[in-house]
Amino acid sequence: MTAAKSEAGGRVMAEKSEAGGRVIVLGLGARSGVDLEAPVRAALAVAGLTPGDVAVLATLDRRAAEPRVRDLAARHGWRLAGFPAHELAACPVPNPGRAAGVAVGTPSVAEAAALLAAGPGAELILPKRAAGGVTVALYSARVSITTFT
C-alpha cells in the first residue's frame, strides 16, 4: 500500500470490522463547497450499509485537509487517509473518468483512494457513484488495514 501523509504522521489500525474480518473503506471525490453528507449516505444505502459500517474515508490529500471532509470523518468516527494526485493517477481502477482528470490531475479519486487505503486483497463493493458533485466508491479490506490520521 502506498503511504498517505498526515499531520500526525502516525500509523493507526482500523478499528471497525464487518463479519469475516474485513473493514469498509469509503473513497470520496468532491467539488469544493458541496454538501457531502447526503450523497455519502445515499451511496451507503445503495450498498446496504450505514455510516457505522465504515472504518476509513479515503480521498485526495488536499480534500482530506478541508474542514468539511475532516468534520465528516470525525462525525462518523472514520479514519481519514489522503493521497496525492500522482499516487491516485498511478492506481488502476475499474471506472476511470475524464472529469476528475481535468479537475485534479487523476482519472479517479474515489475508487483509487479507496483502493489504495484498502490495500492488497481489497474487494469492490460499490463502483463509483456520483451525485451532487460528490463521488463515492466502497471497497472491503482486510482488518489489518493500515491508515493514517
The C-alpha angle with vertex 13 and arms to 77 and 68, in degrees rounded to 5, equals: 35
Q: Is residue 3 part of a domain?
A: no
CATH at residue 29: 3.30.420.180
| Residue 147: pLDDT over 50 | no
Domain that holds residue 91: 11-148
DSSP state of 18: B
pLDDT tens, residue by residue, 120-133: 999 999 999 999 99
pLDDT tens, residue by residue, 8-27: 332 233 444 444 578 999 99
Provide the percentage of residues in the chain whose pLDDT is more than 90: 68
Query: How many structural domains does the chain have?
Result: 1
Q: Which amino acid is at 80?
A: L
Q: Is residue 92 part of a domain?
A: yes
CB 1 within 8 A of CB 114: no
Q: Is residue 6 part of a domain?
A: no
